[in-house]
Chains A and B, each alone.
Chain A
Amino acid sequence: MNAKLPAGILVTVLLVAGCGGGGGGGTQSASATKVGLITKTETNPFFVKMKEGAQKAAQAGGLELMSAAGKFDGDNASQITAIENMVAAGVKGILITPSDTKAIVPAIKKARDAGVLVIALDTPTEPQDATDALFATDNFKAGELIGQYAKAAMAGEPAKIATLDLAPGITVGQLRHDGFLKGFGVQEGDPSIVCSQDTRGDQAKGQTAMENCLQKAPDINLVYTINEPAALGAHTALKAKGRDKDVLVVSVDGGCTGTKAVQSGQIAATSQQYPLKMAEEGVKAVATFAKSGQKASGYTDTGVTLITDKAVTGVDAEDTAFGLANCWG
């Protein structure tokens, strides 16, 4: 039995070492206002950038940032746990990108009942007013921009469209998809839309989806993609069929990898969004709340810019030099 005591001591050593090494959590001052950031995952570059923005704003404003994330996209339980722990730690405000827009609502309500300001970043909750405020990209507009761009770039050529979407029931994906159709000037169910597949925003799934779409309709000449990983997957599939030069691929996100793909011509145009700004604005709002008790409310559009090196008349765009200077990831 004595053999187990050293193990216990070893655990403590590890504990101390682990915590010492993990001091990235910011300064430990008891008086500083605490702000929590909860993202969908810890690894997606989008959320890495978001955390960077929050960290920067927290340092500038003299706040202490606590961060947490789910283990996978859709991990509601971990986000609930993080909210509870942050409220217990005495945060003034919580910034959250909800993984499950409905399932997180009861936990957010409890935090707000405890007097915590809760702001959704990037993704609105359902209902949207379950949080005090929403700082996010206008995803409909992001879709609309690439729709308008595609319309102009096709220059009257009859379109055969493939849409590589996100997943059923996820608002962000629906908004971008609908925005694209509106921008392009077609209705859902239009015969020009020859293939629609879900990709979950994943590169490998995007490739599979595009392969299947090409199997179904080899004459596809315009591909809308939910994000750049899906677009790059589509590009690989198109290239295998020797179609990569004559098919127009448009996307949304503005990540650095994606913006480089725009530069190299794999993607024609993308709508760039700004996670760093969402987090910065969020932290500032919590600082204001801590100082004056003034709560942020409603929806704040954090902006979206069309990035392309093949600009078309009638649609405002920036080139990839601008895109790379402002990209995330």
Chain B
Amino acid sequence: MAVTQATTHATLPRRLAATPVAGPLVALLLACLFFGVNSGQFFTGPNFSLIIQQVMVVGTLAIGQTLIILTAGIDLACGAIMAFGGIVMTKLAVDTGLPPVLALAAGLAVCAGFGLVNGLLVTRISLPPFIVTLGMLNVVFALTHIYSDEQTVTELPALLTVLGQTFQVGQTNVTYGSLLTILLFVLFAYLLGSTAWGRHVYALGNSPEVARLTGIRTGRLTVGVYTVAGLVYGIAALLLVSRTGVGDPQAGQTDNLDSITAVVLGGTSLFGGRGLVLGTLVGALIVGVFRNGLQLMGVPSIYQTLITGILVILAVTVDQLSRRRNR
């Protein structure tokens, strides 16, 4: 085990150096500068608070997505799992009449459960993550609509919307949800960067075979990663519910891919083993800043989609080029 630690430690500086998080950060700052110059309403506290509120759901999903992508996996069902979690917690609380705290726990557990199932299918039956989660996307989407009976759940108990409440920082109202999202990013940055578990995740993504030979129980680790990701989707579900104030069976449909967009824009490699969760935060913010800034400038929303697409291709190109250079 000591040997393992030493080996992974030795690669750590190289790994950081090879992480293209600087590019996304520069892009984010330039975007902010651009919109600041072009719109008088951009550089205000309330507007930044708004942007964080608007990216917190996808950003949180993208934390789970980052974990999975670091293991060289992918999750196409994260948004669907979140939507199901949101319906479970709201419907149990409102329609079934369960105490809100139990309904919330059930929603989180269901999301973690789907993550666990994904992880088991990937490891025990050795199915490709792409296929497992593609199937799961349809399964969970259907379950959401069957269970919700296509009905939006309203009149939620206070516990489920408390993260939408605000506190004041100077003149700016910040939601508790925004704060929680930032804390989650910090927590996972710590877990990935400074714990043995985090090093094992990187090692697994770099080379599962080498990771196995160094004594990491890769199967168990993978199942753990998918389960933790599922739990994070559950937290995203709570953020979503508290942001919109309803349980919405239609939610999350674009978030499956949007979360991958955030991860990729943040400089994490889709081939696994390279990337930082804080880069994902930057990636999510880039999308949010563009959407908000273009809207403030009066540019139709379809251009935001266009630019996001171009940025994704650019980000992957940068990843490829830096890979080639490292070789």
Chain A: which residue is nearest B26 at the CB level?
A8
Question: B303 near A77 (CB under 8 angstroms)?
Answer: no
Using Cβ atoms and an 8 Å threshold, which residues of chain A touch B11?
none
Chain A CB within 8 A of B298 CB: yes
Question: A22 near B303 (CB under 8 angstroms)?
Answer: yes
- Which one of A71, A84, A103, A105 contacts B305 once the chains associate, using CB atoms below 8 Å? A71
Chain A CB within 8 A of B46 CB: yes
**Could you tell me the distance between the alpha carbons of A12 and B17 in the complex, rounded to whole angstroms?**
24
**Could you tell me the distance between the alpha carbons of A84 and B164 in the complex, rounded to whole angstroms?**
14
Question: B244 near A88 (CB under 8 angstroms)?
Answer: no
Chain B CB within 8 A of A42 CB: yes
Chain B: which residue is nearest A89 at the CB level?
B296
Asked whether A102 and B154 contact (CB < 8 A) given A77-B251, A88-B292, the answer is yes
**Could you tell me the distance between the alpha carbons of A260 and B144 in the complex, rounded to whole angstroms?**
39
Interface residues of B in 24-53 (CB under 8 A from A): 26-27, 30-31, 34, 38-41, 46-47, 50, 53
Chain A CB within 8 A of B194 CB: no
Interface residues of B in 257-310 (CB under 8 A from A): 291-292, 294-303, 305-307, 310
Question: B295 near A8 (CB under 8 angstroms)?
Answer: no
A-B CB contacts (within 8 Å), total count: 167
**Could you tell me the distance between the alpha carbons of A80 and B55 in the complex, rounded to whole angstroms?**
12
Using Cβ atoms and an 8 Å threshold, which residues of chain B touch A167?
150
Chain B CB within 8 A of A81 CB: yes
Chain B CB within 8 A of A5 CB: yes
Chain A CB within 8 A of B218 CB: no
Asked whether A106 and B246 contact (CB < 8 A) given A11-B31, A42-B300, A68-B301, the answer is yes
Using Cβ atoms and an 8 Å threshold, which residues of chain B touch A84?
50, 53-54
Chain A CB within 8 A of B23 CB: yes
Question: B314 near A7 (CB under 8 angstroms)?
Answer: yes
Chain B: which residue is nearest A80 at the CB level?
B244
Chain A CB within 8 A of B318 CB: yes
What string of 1s and 0s marks CB contacts (under 8 Å) between A81-115 and chain B? Answer: 11011101110000000011011011100000000
Question: B23 near A8 (CB under 8 angstroms)?
Answer: yes
**Could you tell me the distance between the alpha carbons of A9 and B250 in the complex, rounded to whole angstroms?**
38
Asked whether A88 and B296 contact (CB < 8 A) given A7-B314, A102-B246, A106-B246, the answer is yes
Most chain A C-beta atoms within 10 Å of own C-beta, residue among B17, B23, B253, B318: B23
A259 → chain B closest CB, angstroms: 27
**Could you tell me the distance between the alpha carbons of A310 and B87 in the complex, rounded to whole angstroms?**
49
Chain B CB within 8 A of A321 CB: no
Chain B CB within 8 A of A24 CB: yes
- Which one of A23, A81, A85, A102 contacts B152 once the chains associate, using CB atoms below 8 Å? A102
Asked whether A107 and B299 contact (CB < 8 A) given A14-B310, A88-B46, A100-B152, the answer is no
Using Cβ atoms and an 8 Å threshold, which residues of chain B touch A14?
307, 310-311, 314
Most chain A C-beta atoms within 10 Å of own C-beta, residue among B34, B296, B299: B299
- Which one of A3, A8, A18, A75 contacts B253 once the chains associate, using CB atoms below 8 Å? A75
What string of 1s and 0s marks CB contacts (under 8 Å) between B148-189 and chain A? Answer: 011110100000000000000000000000000000000000
Question: B253 near A72 (CB under 8 angstroms)?
Answer: yes
A297 → chain B closest CB, angstroms: 24
Using Cβ atoms and an 8 Å threshold, which residues of chain B touch A15?
30-31, 34, 307
Chain A CB within 8 A of B96 CB: no
Question: A103 near B302 (CB under 8 angstroms)?
Answer: no
Using Cβ atoms and an 8 Å threshold, which residues of chain B touch A89?
39, 41, 295-296, 298
Question: A75 near B246 (CB under 8 angstroms)?
Answer: no
A118 → chain B closest CB, angstroms: 16
Question: B250 near A100 (CB under 8 angstroms)?
Answer: yes
Using Cβ atoms and an 8 Å threshold, which residues of chain B touch A245?
none
Using Cβ atoms and an 8 Å threshold, which residues of chain B touch A74?
250, 253
Question: A88 near B41 (CB under 8 angstroms)?
Answer: yes
Chain B CB within 8 A of A146 CB: no
What string of 1s and 0s marks CB contacts (under 8 Å) between B6-29 and chain A? Answer: 000000000001001011001100
**Could you tell me the distance between the alpha carbons of A82 and B250 in the complex, rounded to whole angstroms?**
17
**Stretch of A25-33, A131-139, A176-184 on the interface side:** A25-33
Chain A CB within 8 A of B230 CB: no
**Could you tell me the distance between the alpha carbons of A168 and B149 in the complex, rounded to whole angstroms?**
9
**Could you tell me the distance between the alpha carbons of A106 and B303 in the complex, rounded to whole angstroms?**
27
Chain A CB within 8 A of B322 CB: yes
**Could you tell me the distance between the alpha carbons of A43 and B250 in the complex, rounded to whole angstroms?**
19
Chain A CB within 8 A of B325 CB: yes
**Could you tell me the distance between the alpha carbons of A130 and B46 in the complex, rounded to whole angstroms?**
25
Chain B CB within 8 A of A119 CB: no
Asked whether A4 and B248 contact (CB < 8 A) given A22-B299, A66-B295, A82-B295, the answer is no
**Could you tell me the distance between the alpha carbons of A67 and B303 in the complex, rounded to whole angstroms?**
11
Chain B CB within 8 A of A242 CB: no
Report, nearest first, the 6 A-B pairs whose CB atoms are least far apart: A25-B298, A4-B23, A8-B26, A106-B245, A74-B250, A85-B295
5 A/B residue pairs, CB under 8 Å, sorted by A? A1-B22, A11-B26, A65-B298, A88-B41, A105-B245
Add 4 more A-B contacts to A77-B252, A100-B248 (CB < 8 A): A74-B253, A76-B251, A78-B254, A88-B296
